[in-house]
């Protein structure tokens, strides 16, 4: 099962980070020195993705500019012999013809955003990555999923256990067989109340889906929050082929949340050789002074 294409839904308004996101797409918020969307694209590239499809909205042109050449800036860096910065800048840009953009004109939910990419995806399996979910791992999360999907075929979602009181924030799996790594998906429920949740195994923002999902999304049924939910469309595919949740190896940070964003900044900063000592000393001082 080869996965060549990835969809990045980036049309959201990012209201939880206002006023910072008034003029800046939330996906361009930086963790240390790279925007969230770049982490997602690099993860996809490491998993063998060849075509990158962005579902954008109004005010998202900064994302397009980020994944393009900036000749003036490159010329300036070159003239000042800042070779390392120049190479880092050029490494961001995918090859010619590997990037495509389409618009989601109305904010009708994640499912609708994915449906907007249907003509660019075509009739083949594809990945979906949500930049808000930043995952620190030795082997990139999507690469783990691609390898696992090579074993199972069919649809796959990245999953993690959450506290039962948080099930109303996530899509939750109804689990069949479970070997501790791969859980068979017997059903999916979008944001159930804790008492009604079939498990505490939640879907996070990484998916490998078969094109059948577009048939269900195209019916435009409204789900939780009055939006077209991807979880609802995936639930309709249960039973039509293999469907599994993968407990990935790594740590997930919810960067759509202010606390999660700060935690990710600290974690990725501490992972950097050039920042670890200074940041660690500062954090120790803060803890000591509490």
- Can you give the CATH number for the domain in which 48 is found? 3.90.550.10
Asked if residue 45 belongs to a domain, the reply is yes
Residues 263, 148 within the same domain? no
Residues 48, 102 within the same domain? yes
At 190 the pLDDT is: 87
Asked if residue 172 belongs to a domain, the reply is no
Nearest to 134 by CA among 229, 265, 273: 265
At 106 the pLDDT is: 86
Asked if residue 114 belongs to a domain, the reply is yes
The total number of structural domains that make up the chain: 2
Q: How far apart are CA 131 and CA 94, in angstroms?
A: 17
Asked if residue 82 belongs to a domain, the reply is yes
Asked if residue 230 belongs to a domain, the reply is yes
Residues 215, 288 within the same domain? no
Residues 88, 113 within the same domain? yes
* Cβ atoms 189, 178 nearer than 8 A: no
Please tell me the pTM assigned to this model.
0.93
Q: How far apart are CA 237 and CA 283, in angstroms?
A: 47
Asked if residue 197 belongs to a domain, the reply is no
Q: Return the SS3 of 19.
A: coil
Q: Return the SS3 of 159.
A: strand
At 58 the pLDDT is: 86
Residues 90, 60 within the same domain? yes
Asked if residue 14 belongs to a domain, the reply is yes
Cis before 144? omega within 30: no
Output the CA angle 241-125-256, nearest 5 degrees: 100
Output the tens digit of pLDDT for each of the chain's 290 residues. 789 999 999 988 888 999 999 989 999 999 999 999 999 999 999 999 999 999 999 889 999 999 999 999 999 999 999 999 999 989 888 888 899 999 998 888 999 999 999 999 999 999 999 999 999 999 999 999 999 999 999 999 999 999 999 999 898 999 999 999 999 999 998 889 999 999 999 999 999 999 999 999 999 888 878 888 999 999 999 988 999 999 999 999 999 999 999 999 999 999 999 999 999 999 999 999 88
At 14 the pLDDT is: 83
At 107 the pLDDT is: 83
Range of the domain at 52: 5-152+205-241
Output the CA angle 55-61-63, nearest 5 degrees: 70
* Cβ atoms 56, 84 nearer than 8 A: no
Residues 142, 280 within the same domain? no
């Amino acid at each position: 099962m080869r996965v060549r294409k990835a969809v990045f839904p980036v049309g959201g308004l990012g209201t939880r980070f206002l006023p910072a996101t008034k003029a800046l797409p939330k996906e361009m918020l930086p963790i240390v020195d790279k925007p969230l969307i770049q982490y997602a694209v690099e993860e996809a590239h490491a998993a063998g993705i060849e075509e990158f499809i962005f579902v954008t909205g109004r005010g998202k042109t900064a994302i397009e500019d980020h994944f393009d050449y900036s000749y003036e800036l490159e010329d300036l860096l070159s003239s000042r012999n800042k070779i390392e910065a120049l190479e880092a800048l050029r490494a961001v840009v995918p090859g010619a013809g590997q990037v495509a953009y389409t618009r989601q004109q109305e904010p009708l939910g994640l499912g609708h955003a994915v449906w907007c990419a249907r003509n660019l995806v075509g009739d083949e399996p594809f990945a979906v990555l949500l930049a808000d979910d930043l995952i620190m791992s030795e082997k990139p999360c999507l690469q783990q999923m691609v390898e696992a999907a090579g074993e199972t075929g069919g649809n796959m979602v990245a999953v993690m256990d959450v506290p039962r009181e948080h099930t109303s924030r996530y899509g939750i799996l109804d689990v069949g067989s479970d070997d501790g790594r791969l859980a068979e998906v017997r059903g999916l429920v979008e944001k159930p109340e804790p008492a009604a949740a079939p498990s505490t195994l939640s879907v996070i923002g990484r998916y490998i889906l078969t094109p059948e999902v577009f048939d269900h999304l195209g019916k435009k049924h409204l789900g939780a929050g009055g939006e077209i939910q991807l979880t609802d469309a995936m639930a309709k595919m249960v039973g039509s082929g293999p469907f599994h949740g993968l407990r990935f190896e790594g740590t997930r940070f919810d960067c759509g949340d202010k606390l999660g964003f700060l935690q990710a900044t600290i974690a990725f900063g501490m992972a950097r050789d050039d920042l670890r000592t200074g940041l660690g000393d500062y954090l120790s001082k803060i803890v000591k002074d509490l």
